[in-house]
Amino acid sequence: MRPSIRISLVLAILLLVAAPLHAAQPHFDTAPVMGVLQRLLHERAARIELGTIAAKDGHERFRISRDGGRIRIQGSTPSALLFGANWYLKYVAHGQVSTDGVRLDAGPLPLPGAVIEMTTPYRYRYALNENVDGYSAPYWDWPRWQHEIDVLALSGINAMLVERGMDEVLYRTFRDAGYSDADIRAWLAAPAHFNWQLMGNLCCFGGPVSHELLSRRVRSAQRIVARLRELGITPVLPGFYGIVPADFPRRYPQAHVVPQGEWAGFTRPGWLDPRDPLFDRLAADFYRHQRELFGDTSIYDMEVFQEGGDAGDVPVPQAARRVQAALEKAHPGAKWMMLAWQGNPTQALLSGVDRQRLLVIDIDHDRVPRDDRAKDFQGAPFLFGGIWAFGGRTTLGTRIDNYAERLPRMGRDNANMAGTAVFPEGLDTNPFAFDLFTEMAWRNAPVDMASWTRQYVRRRYGADDPHAQAAWRILLHTAYGIRLDAVPFNSERDAAQESLFDAQPDLDANRASHWSPEGLRYDATAFRRALTELLQVAPALRTSATYRYDLVDVARQALANESRALLPEIKAAYEGHQRAAFDAQTRRWLALMRLQDRLLASNPHFLLGRWLAAVPSWAADADERTRLEYDARSILTTWGDRKASEGAMLHDYGNKDWAGLTRDYYLPRWQRYFRSLDAALASGKPPQPIDWFAFGDAWNHGHQHYATEPEGDSHALAAEVARALGIAPAP
């Protein structure tokens, strides 16, 4: 062997030995990632070549380049690889993938002009509020879940909550504890309400659940968990922190159970003192059954004293330490996820645990700005939460500066900020906010929203259309321009105002749900001009699903805003005994509601029929089908029984502008109310009171069929809305 060759071989060996650990190529199967792209791009995915790449200084990264005539995307993890693919689709192919529509240019995928490489400063990009499985996903089938997971994965999500199937875990745990089959199935809540049981808020609603229901939910959850793991997404599973049936002390008189009273009129589960020997037994059984069904994971969600609760005579630091110890015994090294919400986690709880084994989802950071989260959470890692939708409502808008500016500032100023959390209470609204928020997990500095929005419009609609750009400049400064000083302390701060069409009828109504914003949070007159501009987008761009969704959504919100202008006029006419004016204005109100229903019926994302059509796949028999449809209907309307609906003011918390719901629920309520007022004007006597809970509960027990496919021309109907509002563009 020649000396030069020998020296080269020695140098090569030395370089390999000396290579730093982080430079080692990761090993993971890219086939599941390609599966996502194939479902999205079909045959065009063949032009993309996937590969792995080492992390950079411990941070996940992706790289986009060209390899001859192929697009090469590499990632250090499956999640980084997926987000890299999405970045390519957004900023090279100028397309958009969202759960509210997909828009990609026809023809071959373009090659990148230069190498693009990015890292994320955050380890965790988490998704799903505990309430999503109530307000959005309780009855989703596999195709619907698969699409949602694909979009979340492409958006860089690497941890996701799974609550489905945990009812079977509780069933098995308490059967082991001696409860009868009938008793425990009656204790478990139906799917749309079950997640509140996991948080210790309620029990027993919508049951008894059947074994067939529990079994189907387990199989569905197993499929969801398996797909998450394939895509490098950590399943976050509920943990055990001591919830027991309220009658647990009757069965175990020696047990130390602290009664938890009521939540919104519901009886809370009891809380078993974690120092009680029975706690370790129940926790071990819970985690064993959970492992048998779903395997192990590394993050467990537990909400002790969620929205109330009572520690009684139990010292919270010691109790929290025992909860964490039970988790550690079952899953060594696992993290305990919890919410920062309404005073939780308390300083006492934080003081009792290993805080480096926590993940706090911070969704309470901006009502009163809280910037020093290292101090507030005693150094525990936290995730910056985005919560632009409450109750799964269809309202458009949020405080976008909270994500574009405050998120990176919090990451810079808080060394314990470990990531982000997509945390709206319902899914698939405000795709603009979702796109920005998930992208900010890959940025460490604020973005110029004017520039970012221009690019968003280009990829959302397929061209740099001047009317589309004008519409979004308006939206950026109205619905997405909510500022901190405009947000009342006592209302849900990130969300926009609701439609009064959805409110329980009252001349003084200023919101549809009790905790929502009480008034307009931007200039409604300025907002309406966005509809005028969207209607003038070039005809060639009007066929995309993304444009049609946005057009209907903006027209819908314009009508919702009009309800706030019209109701005071109706009130003035009634109180002034101006019966003719009252008749004319109420006719206009009802006509706008009918128009809204026809508008909503033209888009698949606003159909009540799709929500209800999912229910039969879970039903074991006709009786259970009836109970489950009641479960699915009531979460939208009365929410629960009379005590919860009226006493705790939960009615209409999950209101939605949906076709069918508007026509057959909200509209008849207002018709009945206006008739009662008109009769009062005619007779001079006070209007007769109306039992609104009975009205809603009758609808909850109904069996009307609703369309599952859209009908009507969205553009023509949105133009009709503009004419009705007096803002139609010139022909």
699: number of CA atoms within 13 Å, CB side?
23
At 612 the pLDDT is 96
pLDDT of 4 > 90? The answer is no
Say how many C-beta atoms besides its own lie within 10 A of residue 102's C-beta.
Answer: 17
Residue scoring higher pLDDT (369 or 639) = 639
Report the half-sphere exposure of 710 (CA within 13 A, side-chain side). 17
CA–CA separation, 441 and 330 (whole Å)? 31
Burial of 689 from C-beta contacts in 10 A (0-12 / 13-18 / 19+): exposed
Tokens of 249: 């002390």
How does residue 484 score in pLDDT terms, banded at 50, 70 and 90? low
Q: Which of these ranges, 54-63, 146-155, 284-293, 340-349, has the smallest mean pLDDT?
A: 340-349
Q: Which two tokens stand for residue 125?
A: 């990009």
Q: Give 587-613 pLDDT, tens digit per residue.
A: 999 999 999 999 999 999 999 999 999
Could you give the CA distance from residue 63 to residue 51 in angstroms, rounded to a whole number?
Answer: 9
pLDDT tens track for 219-276: 999 999 999 999 999 999 999 999 999 999 999 999 999 999 999 999 999 999 999 9
Structure tokens, 87: 């970045």
Q: Say which amino acid occupies 459.
A: R
What is the reported pLDDT for 599? 98
Distance CA 229, CA 231 (A): 5
Q: Do residues 359 and 382 make contact, with C-beta atoms less than 8 angstroms apart?
A: yes
pLDDT digit string, tens, across residues 96-142: 999 899 999 999 999 999 999 999 999 999 999 999 999 999 999 99
Asked if the peptide bond before residue 466 counts as cis, ω within 30 degrees of 0, the response is no
CA dihedral 166, 172, 175, 177 (to 10 degrees): -90
pLDDT of residue 444 exceeding 90: yes
> What is the β-pairing status of strands 299-301 and 270-272?
unpaired
Q: Alpha carbon of 96 to those of 86, 87, 126, 442, 468: distances in Å?
A: 8, 10, 21, 17, 15
DSSP state of 441: T
Mean pLDDT value of segment 620-636: 93
- Residues 702 and 100: their CA atoms lie apart, in Å, by 29
Q: CA torsion 122→67→94→482, rounded to 10°?
A: 10
Specify whether the CB–CB gap between 291 and 239 falls below 8 A: no
pLDDT for position 618 = 64
Q: Identify the structural domains of the chain with CATH numbers, from first to last.
A: 23-119 (3.30.379.10), 162-353 (3.20.20.80), 499-519+569-724 (1.20.120.670)
For residues 74-93, give the mean pLDDT. 98
Mean pLDDT, rounded, for 320-345:
96
Q: What's the pLDDT score for residue 19? A: 32
Above 90 in pLDDT, residue 499?
yes
**30-55: pLDDT as tens digits:** 999 999 999 999 999 999 999 999 99
Task: Check residue 137 and report its DSSP letter.
Answer: -
Q: Are 200 and 268 in contact (CB under 8 A)?
A: yes
* Max CA distance (Å), the chain: 114
pTM metric for this prediction: 0.94
Place of tokens 């009540």: 608
Token pair listed for 80: 């980084």
338: pLDDT strictly greater than 50:
yes
Burial 574-606 (b: 16+ CB within 10 A, else e): beeeeeeebeebbeebeebbebbbbbbbbbbbb
24, pLDDT greater than 60: no
Question: Per-residue pLDDT for 11 more than 90?
Answer: no
Residue 704: its H or E element: none
CA distance 435 to 86: 11
Q: Which residues of 162-182 are buried (b: 16+ CB within 10 A; e: fewer)?
A: bbbbbbbbbbbbbbebebeee
% of residues, the chain, pLDDT over 70? 95
Instruction: Give 533-592 pLDDT, tens digit per residue.
Output: 999 999 999 999 999 999 999 999 999 999 999 999 999 999 999 999 999 999 999 999
| The predicted structure's pLDDT at residue 494 | 74
Q: What is the pLDDT of residue 16?
A: 32
Distance of alpha carbon 646 from alpha carbon 688, whole angstroms: 18
Distance, first Cα to last Cα, the chain: 85
Q: Taking Cα atoms as reference points, which of 28, 46, 27, 29 lies closest to residue 37?
A: 46
Q: How far apart are CA 348 and CA 72, in angstroms?
A: 51
pLDDT of residue 161: 98
Closest C-alpha among 594, 598, 632 to residue 613: 632
Q: Tell me the average pLDDT of the chain.
A: 93
Distance (Å, whole) CA 152 – CA 42: 19
| pLDDT number for residue 10 | 32
Q: What was the pLDDT predicted at 343?
A: 85
SS (H, E, C) 521-542: CCCHHHHHHHHHHHHCCCHHHC
Rounded to 10 degrees, the C-alpha dihedral 249/253/255/259 comes to: 30
What does the block give as tokens for 653? 């918390």
Tens of pLDDT, residues 353-396: 999 999 999 998 766 778 899 999 999 999 999 999 999 999 99
Q: Which residues pair with 659 in a beta bridge?
A: 607
Q: Are strands 358-362 and 335-340 parallel, antiparallel or unpaired?
A: parallel
pLDDT (tens digit per residue) in 295-322: 999 999 999 998 888 999 999 999 999 9
Instruction: State residue 25's pLDDT score.
Output: 64
C-alpha–C-alpha distance, residues 272 and 274, integer Å: 6
When pLDDT is averaged across residues 328-340 and rounded to a whole number, the result is 97
